[in-house]
Structure 1
Amino acid sequence: MTEQTGQGGRRPANGGPKAAARNRAALVAAAREIFAEHGLDAPLSAIARRAGVGQGVLYRHFPDRTAAVAAVLEENVRQIEQVAGAGDVPFTGVLGVLTWHLTESAAFIGLLHADRAAGRSGIRAHALGLSGRVERALRGRLPADHRLSAADDLMLSVAMVSAAVTGPTRQEREDRALAAWRLLGVEVGPVRAFGGRVTTG
């Protein structure tokens, strides 16, 4: 049985483990795009079509929605942890990468509001763990005298900024995020991905 050519003419390659790795990467990239465009309730079949693979391939990698969401969020969180662990990037730069993820990924915003994910117990539990990792990464780089260093100020501010990230275009969402940081009196470095590992549409 052969897979059909997907949307945009993409065709999955056959070739054992290498093909499996390529298919997984294509599925994660497609899931990021679909979740950003349509939210976490988007049909999984749309992800398979965007990646150019059959639904059987999708379910071999991600047996349910929780697994697909977790794979996308893991990439977001990994970048935050990587930039926070880079000794040559100031805290403002860490916030710039965080803000990039906020403007690119509706799923990532949902992660930061994981306590509201009623009805998705599996996703909620996983998201709470990932959210804790984001907080630990940010706190590890937060200067002791920073205006966000008191008690819950850091994650409350992140939640407030994420709530402001709305708009039909990426640039509009970024502008609103930066405006929210300015209103909080927080300096943010360049809004960018870190390490070039995340692909968006």
Structure 2
Amino acid sequence: MPTQPKANRGPSAGPENRRALIVAAREVFASEGLSAPLSSVARKAGVGQGSLYRHFPDRTALAVAVFEENLTELELFIDRPESTLRDLLERVIDQAVVSTALIDLIWAHSHDERVVHLGDRLRDMVERKVQREKESGVLGAHVTVEDVLLAVSMLAGVLARSDADERRAVGSRAVVLFTLAFGPR
């Protein structure tokens, strides 16, 4: 028996389709790598390719959407009074482990106007966290925002180049090193 096609709900389905595409992109690129066909993303999201391209005209647009969502999650978390810089680094690991294929794409397009604001958002978040950690005495006075941004960049880069089954262990070792380097002297 042939399957019935989904009813076209028109523009009202847009936000739901966009969200489904972002979730599907994470899963597809995590399992198949960056060269996975975009049709696989659309199929996994349960939408047509037309819907995919309406929301995301290219891979960069899709990667930016994934990272925007990642940053929103980090911002909500990092603004909690009990969150720490170590917690931020642990969350970066969690996100990088499932977004490794997209990290290289974002870095390759770092000057693209769609990508630049991601770095600005990360910088603002790190500035807030560094200031709070210094005021509480957890972070050494020698640590700068640039140091923490470098650590995040190094962490994402090494995770993107590590074997999938080793990423968590590699990330944990890196966080220990950063914690020791960033502590008060």
TM-score (norm 1): 0.70
Give the corresponding residue for 1:150. 144
Give the corresponding residue for 1:127. 115
Q: Which has the higher helix share?
A: 2
| Cα distance in 2 for residues equivalent to 1:178 and 1:121 | 26
Give the corresponding residue for 2:164. 168
SS, match of residue 105 in structure 1: helix
After TM superposition, the structure 1 = structure 2 runs for residues 1-201 of structure 1, keeping only pairs within 5 Å, are: 14-107=8-101, 109-110=103-104, 114=107, 117=108, 120=109, 124-142=112-130, 143-144=133-134, 146-147=139-140, 149-150=143-144, 152-165=146-159, 166-169=162-165, 172-186=166-180
Cα distance change on mapping 1:121 and 1:109 into 2, 3 Å: closer
Cα distance change on mapping 1:85 and 1:100 into 2, 3 Å: same
TM-score (norm 2): 0.76
| Cα distance in 1 for residues equivalent to 2:146 and 2:18 | 37
RMSD after superposition: 2.9
Post-superposition offset of 1:181: 1.7
Cα distance change on mapping 1:182 and 1:12 into 2, 3 Å: farther
Q: Residues 121-144 of structure 1: CA distance to partner in whole angstroms, max 9, x if unpaired?
A: 77x332232022112202211122
Q: Give the counterpart letter for 2:119 in structure 1.
A: S
Contact 1:31 1:68 in 2 (8 A): yes
Percent identical: 36
Contact 1:48 1:55 in 2 (8 A): yes
| Cα distance in 1 for residues equivalent to 2:39 and 2:56 | 12
Cα distance change on mapping 1:180 and 1:91 into 2, 3 Å: closer
Aligned residues: 171
| Cα distance in 2 for residues equivalent to 1:149 and 1:29 | 35
Query: Rg: which structure is higher?
Result: 2
Post-superposition offset of 1:151: 5.7
| Cα distance in 2 for residues equivalent to 1:38 and 1:186 | 36
| Cα distance in 2 for residues equivalent to 1:12 and 1:149 | 54
Post-superposition offset of 1:108: 5.6
Cα distance change on mapping 1:151 and 1:76 into 2, 3 Å: closer
Cα distance change on mapping 1:139 and 1:19 into 2, 3 Å: same
SS, match of residue 126 in structure 2: helix
Q: Give the counterpart letter for 1:140 in structure 2.
A: R
Post-superposition offset of 1:104: 1.9
Gaps of 5+ in 1: 6-10, 188-201
SS, match of residue 170 in structure 2: helix
